[in-house]
């Protein structure tokens, strides 16, 4: 079967759910901006000039910013690993569920860390769920292509 076709269920799931994940990552920028405005907290002197903003660090703003940085560290690796996995022509049901679970775990990670903070281990469970799936996809892909 050709991998990059509309008939490939796993590829369609990857593009749909990967797109949702990218949109979520981009929304984090706006969430940071909204909270900076709401809290009047900026980091750069030129942003505070002539306004009601102060140069200060606000814990809520920093929490959202850290969640966004964590997205920037983990989402590209997942998307690349998932694409490598899709190229191996895996079972479409398994691939679809792995992608969905990873994306939902990442969304929950943001919720329990930046939007509605919940004590550990909630964040760790979400983080390691996606990380585990990412490692699985990488190792699976390497194994399949090593045998060729």
CATH number of the domain residue 131 falls in? 1.20.120.550
Residues paired with residue 41 on neighbouring β-strands, in sequence order: 54
SS3 of 51, please? coil
CA-wise closest residue to 141 among 88, 91, 102: 88
Whether residue 96 has pLDDT greater than 60: yes
Q: Which range of residues forms the domain containing residue 96? A: 9-146
Note the pLDDT of residue 17.
Answer: 98
Query: How many domains does the chain contain in total?
Result: 1
1 located within any domain:
no
Are the C-beta atoms of 113 and 28 separated by less than 8 Å? no
The tens digit of pLDDT for each residue in 3-38 reads: 878 889 999 999 999 999 999 999 999 999 899 888
94 located within any domain:
yes
Sign of CA dihedral 148, 92, 94, 121: positive
96 located within any domain:
yes
Note the pLDDT of residue 106.
Answer: 98
Q: Can you tell me which residue has the tokens 């479409």?
A: 92
Whether residue 50 has pLDDT greater than 70: no
4 located within any domain:
no
Note the pLDDT of residue 68.
Answer: 96
Whole-model pTM: value is 0.90
Whether residue 48 has pLDDT greater than 60: yes
Whether residue 86 has pLDDT greater than 90: yes
Between 47 and 57, name the one with better pLDDT: 57
Note the pLDDT of residue 121.
Answer: 97
Beta strands 54-55; 41-42: pairing state = parallel
Say how far apart CA 84 and CA 92 lie, in whole Å: 14
Note the pLDDT of residue 32.
Answer: 92
Question: What confidence category does residue 134 fall into, taking pLDDT thresholds of 50, 70 and 90?
Answer: very high
């Amino acid at each position: 079967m050709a991998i990059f076709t509309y008939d490939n269920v796993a590829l369609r799931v990857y593009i749909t759910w990967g797109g949702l994940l990218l949109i979520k990552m981009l929304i984090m920028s706006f969430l940071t901006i909204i909270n900076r405005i709401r809290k009047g907290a900026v980091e750069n002197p030129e942003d505070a000039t002539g306004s009601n903003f102060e140069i200060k660090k606000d814990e809520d703003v920093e929490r959202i910013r850290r969640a966004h940085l964590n997205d920037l560290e983990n989402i590209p690796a997942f998307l690349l690993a998932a694409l490598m996995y899709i190229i191996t022509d895996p079972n479409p049901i398994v691939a679809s569920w792995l992608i969905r679970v990873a994306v939902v775990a990442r969304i929950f990670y943001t919720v329990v860390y930046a939007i509605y903070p919940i004590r550990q281990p909630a964040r760790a469970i979400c983080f390691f769920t996606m990380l585990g799936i990412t490692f699985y996809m990488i190792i699976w892909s390497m194994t399949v292509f090593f045998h060729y």
